[in-house]
Structure 1
Amino acid sequence: MDDIARFLLFIKLRSQIRGSDNHLIVGIDIAKDKHHAFFGTPKGQSLWRRLIFTNDLSGFNRLTCAYLVLYKRLSLPKLTMRGV
């Protein structure tokens, strides 16, 4: 996927989730050994600011567990994981 197609996909996704109560925003700062994640709502509410997880299966499980906890707490209608 080229940069233009990726940007157009991002704009479409952003328009779908802006102001929605049905989405959880997850931002991940990728590094070699440890990653930092942020969870928030499309309305700007921070839910989890500094989740640090390792670059291995244990770290992925930690990220997934945090995601599922927030998904259930917010009673979101569906679970979707998408990378852009």
Structure 2
Amino acid sequence: MVITISNLPPHVTEEHISDLLQGDSRIQRITFNKEGNPDKVMALVQIDVSRLEAQFLANKLNHAYFEERHLDAYTPLFMGR
């Protein structure tokens, strides 16, 4: 499954994203989309979990704060396995 996390700062790293997900060992890949507004980066997190668990993780991150930024997280309907 894929979890998207947006409104991240431009200097965000894979380690930051891993920390947000508490070092979850099921993370397979993290990629960043820096197109559009360069001050608001989006992370695409490929993680080996069910859709239900991905939605649970996204809900935990949605509206969380990271470096004084209000994050938006969700699981896209047509991305994943």
Please report the TM-score for the alignment, with normalisation by the length of structure 2.
0.31
Please report the TM-score for the alignment, with normalisation by the length of structure 1.
0.31
Relative contact order (alpha carbons < 8 A, sep ≥ 6): 1 or 2 greater? 2
Q: Which has the higher helix share?
A: 1
Structure whose alpha-carbon radius of gyration is higher: 1
